[in-house]
Amino acid sequence: MTGTGGGPNGNGREPQNEQAFDALVVGAGFAGMYMLHRLRGLGLKTRVIEAGSGVGGTWYWNRYPGARCDVESVQYSYQFDPDLEQEWDWTEHYATQPEILRYADHVADRFDLRRDIDFDTRVTAARFDEVRGAWILDTDNRQRYVAPVCVMATGCLSAPNTPRFDGIDRFSGPTYHTGAWPHEPVDFSGQRVGIIGTGSSAIQSIPLIAEQARHLTVFQRTAHYSVPARNHPLKRAAPGETMNGAVPLGYDPEVTVEEIKAHYPAFRASAKQFATGLSYALNKDSALDATPEERRRAYEARWQRGGVPFLGAYGDLLSDEQANETAAEFVREKIRETVNDPETAELLCPSGVIGCKRLVVDTDYFATYNRDNVTLVDISDGPIERLTPEGLCAGGQDYAFDAIVFATGFDAMTGALNRIDIRGADGRSLVERWAEGPKSYLGLMVAGLPNLFTITGPGSPSVLSNMIPSIEQHVDWITDCIRHMRANGLNRIEATEAAQEDWVAHAREVAGGSLRSSCSSWYVGANVPGKPRVFMPYIGGFPAYVQRCEEIVANGYEGFLLS
Ligand code: FAD
Ligand code: NAP
């Protein structure tokens, strides 16, 4: 079919080809893959458009050394198909990037997803055509896709953020961004490497790059809190061992895979009762009611256990600053115990609220600074001024490198959507609509953009939750909504401005009660210069959010206009 009509295509050239579908999905990460499976189940002719050459999204792009999950593998996985759940065997407590990518590939094979995915195709523009009652998507390879329904499964952490340092292209050696790592292994042997950033991606990769490089220089703008992962092979049942009653509430790393599998539905259901959608041992008591000795024992036990459940030691760690400080100081003491050079240790000690920025989970991060070939450079007062042909200049000092790694994160939550020129029927772009921060109804739809759904968008629990269950909840909600529309002869759904405003106000009010909104994190857009400061994910918790989504459906899709 030849292209019809004009309109923006984001690259200034007319598309060569137009194809029509019942539904379009942008992105083939865990969200887009499951969305395709469900839309096919409704009998819809669906096409997924994916910029990468394969499925897996985050786990396709983030191939840096040490990349792995910090949610336990038995929890970070799909639950929509019991057979899939039973047949897949995770090997480690926290799965590596290659293993998660193998899982994504396995799912794509098992459900024969690839035949409906167009890879190596980036959507550049999407506009709603009122006359055709359809979304028209244009791409960087001059394809045009048309369908009445469009689902943006573009990811929350998929738009890499590379700061616009002066002379960014002047460095003569290779540069790498952790979120767009090459497919072939990078060998740093014998090299002088500089790494910018000390967030999760940096903290995972620094110990491994340090083992390889001749010298590694870490540029730290802000020290981050990190707790040990204590990763290990997953526990297996002994031959003939019988399963005991039920998996206890609060996931215990000592539980065997066989026990989890024997009780998977109950285990998953219990996880959904947690604010994060993640099962872990949670003590609801106040840290301030415990004696210093009791607190120390509690923090030490969790430090030895490892992982983000550290913050579950007490119920008020994310709501009371004084309580939070007791946990923060415990971690600082651990850093001072671990790092031999007192000056470096002090620089590595974060100030402020632990858990405000996402708590990092590491393997041997702080101990890496005891190596002779690792140097920490504090750039809190002397920022990176420019890149030079030899390296970079920070705080007035020149540094020479053979390679530079940007571990500078993402334009989170809004970046991937805003990089597409999305326009409603009125011609207004999403960028204009979100000029003062993202607004959505439930993180699922944006007023003025009919029939366009977002998965784990701003305004939903999203990055504050175990993402795969959150993705499944969104996909299921969207599928039910489309089924409802088809059953009732409806072809258009749109969030009302009033419902959107109410939801945004509610989300902001809830965020105000949490210490999480109190610092300059990517949750509030602080990592991208010029980005409006709004706490983007919904912090009211997964159960409360799901309940609200269900009530809205029960009330006849309250807050949505259906026609
Ligand atoms: P993504 O996996 O980001 O997939 C989005 C896809 O959309 C990408 O493939 C992208 O190429 C494509 N896309 C975007 N824009 C376009 C466009 N314009 N045109 C075409 N295609 C486009 N979450 C957890 O719950 N636990 C963890 O431990 C965890 N670890 C993480 C580790 C890293 C390094 C990162 C970066 C994120 C991590 N996350 C974690 C969050 C992770 O992003 C989600 O868990 C999940 O993988 C998101 O799936 P998704 O399908 O929504 O998005
Ligand atoms: P990040 O947490 O945003 O960290 C980016 C780092 O780069 C920060 O240290 C930041 O400093 C620094 N930085 C940014 N711009 C800079 C500049 N202009 N000059 C100097 N330093 C600069 O990004 P990330 O580490 O990629 O992680 C993003 C998120 O992805 C995580 O929070 C997490 O949700 C997810 N993730 C998870 C895992 C996991 O363990 N499962 C691993 C990786 C990523 P400031 O702190 O001062 O801004």
Distance CA 147, CA 132 (A): 9
> Which residue's alpha carbon is at the smallest distance from atom 32 of ligand 1?
69
Specify the ligand 1 atom closest to the Cα of 455. 52
Percentage of residues in the chain with pLDDT exceeding 90? 92
pLDDT digits (tens, 9 = 90+) for 306-349: 999 999 999 999 999 999 999 999 999 999 999 999 999 999 99
pLDDT digits (tens, 9 = 90+) for 476-512: 999 999 999 999 999 999 999 999 999 999 999 999 9
Q: Is any ligand 2 atom within 6 A of the Cβ of residue 58?
A: no
Tokens of 5: 């009509």
Domains and CATH numbers, the chain: 17-55+113-160+411-562 (3.50.50.60), 175-224+357-406 (3.50.50.60)
User: Would you place residue 15 in the very low, low, confident or very high pLDDT band (cuts 50, 70, 90)?
Assistant: confident
Q: Is any ligand 2 atom within 6 A of the Cβ of residue 197?
A: yes
Q: Is any ligand 2 atom within 6 A of the Cβ of residue 231?
A: no
Specify the ligand 1 atom closest to the Cα of 420. 18
Does the structure show a pLDDT above 60 at 1?
no
Q: How large is the greatest C-alpha to C-alpha distance in the chain, in angstroms?
A: 74
pLDDT digits (tens, 9 = 90+) for 219-254: 999 999 999 999 999 988 887 776 666 666 678 888
**Predicted local confidence at residue 467, as pLDDT:** 98
Q: Is any ligand 1 atom within 6 A of the Cβ of residue 203?
A: no
pLDDT digits (tens, 9 = 90+) for 174-191: 999 999 999 999 999 999
Q: Are 562 and 552 in contact (CB under 8 A)?
A: no
> Which residue's alpha carbon is at the smallest distance from atom 29 of ligand 1?
69
**Predicted local confidence at residue 242, as pLDDT:** 64
Q: Are 124 and 9 in contact (CB under 8 A)?
A: yes
Does the structure show a pLDDT above 50 at 354?
yes
Q: Which residues contact 60 (CB under 8 A, 6 or more apart)?
A: 29, 52, 54, 101, 104
**Predicted local confidence at residue 6, as pLDDT:** 38
Q: Is any ligand 2 atom within 6 A of the Cβ of residue 73?
A: no
Q: Is any ligand 1 atom within 6 A of the Cβ of residue 108?
A: no
Tokens of 37: 């499976």
pLDDT digits (tens, 9 = 90+) for 72-89: 999 999 999 999 999 999
Distance CA 151, CA 135 (A): 10
Specify the ligand 2 atom closest to the Cα of 408. 7
Angle at 154 between CA 403 and CA 143, to 5 degrees: 95
pLDDT digits (tens, 9 = 90+) for 522-544: 999 999 999 999 999 999 999 99
**Predicted local confidence at residue 13, as pLDDT:** 66
Q: Is any ligand 2 atom within 6 A of the Cβ of residue 462?
A: no
**Predicted local confidence at residue 3, as pLDDT:** 33
Q: Is any ligand 1 atom within 6 A of the Cβ of residue 404?
A: no
> Which residue's alpha carbon is at the smallest distance from atom 14 of ligand 2?
408
Does the structure show a pLDDT above 50 at 45?
yes
**Predicted local confidence at residue 473, as pLDDT:** 98
Specify the ligand 2 atom closest to the Cα of 71. 41
**What mean pLDDT comes out for the span 153-162?**
98
**Predicted local confidence at residue 245, as pLDDT:** 62
| Among candidate residues 454, 385, 386, the one with its CA nearest the CA of residue 418 | 454
Tokens of 442: 């439930």
d(CA 21, ligand 1 centre) in Å: 24
Read off the pTM. Answer: 0.96
d(CA 54, ligand 1 centre) in Å: 13
Does the structure show a pLDDT above 70 at 269?
yes
- The secondary element (H helix, E strand) that includes residue 394 is strand 391-394
Ligand nearest to the CA of 197: 2
* Cβ burial 234-272 (10 Å sphere, 16+ → b, else e): beeeeeeeeeeeebebebebebbbebbbbbbeebbebbb
Does the structure show a pLDDT above 90 at 373?
yes
Does the structure show a pLDDT above 60 at 4?
no
Distance CA 161, CA 158 (A): 9
Q: Is any ligand 2 atom within 6 A of the Cβ of residue 363?
A: no
Testing ligand 2's pocket by substitution, the residue of 72, 527, 528, 531 carrying the most ligand atoms inside 8 A of its CB is 527
**Predicted local confidence at residue 16, as pLDDT:** 79
Does the structure show a pLDDT above 80 at 279?
yes
**Predicted local confidence at residue 247, as pLDDT:** 65
**Predicted local confidence at residue 253, as pLDDT:** 82
Distance CA 352, CA 341 (A): 22
Distance CA 232, CA 235 (A): 8
**Predicted local confidence at residue 159, as pLDDT:** 98
Q: Which residues contact 297 (CB under 8 A, 6 or more apart)?
A: none
User: Would you place residue 52 in the very low, low, confident or very high pLDDT band (cuts 50, 70, 90)?
Assistant: very high
How high is the mean pLDDT of the chain? 95
Q: Is any ligand 1 atom within 6 A of the Cβ of residue 448?
A: no
Specify the ligand 1 atom closest to the Cα of 55. 9
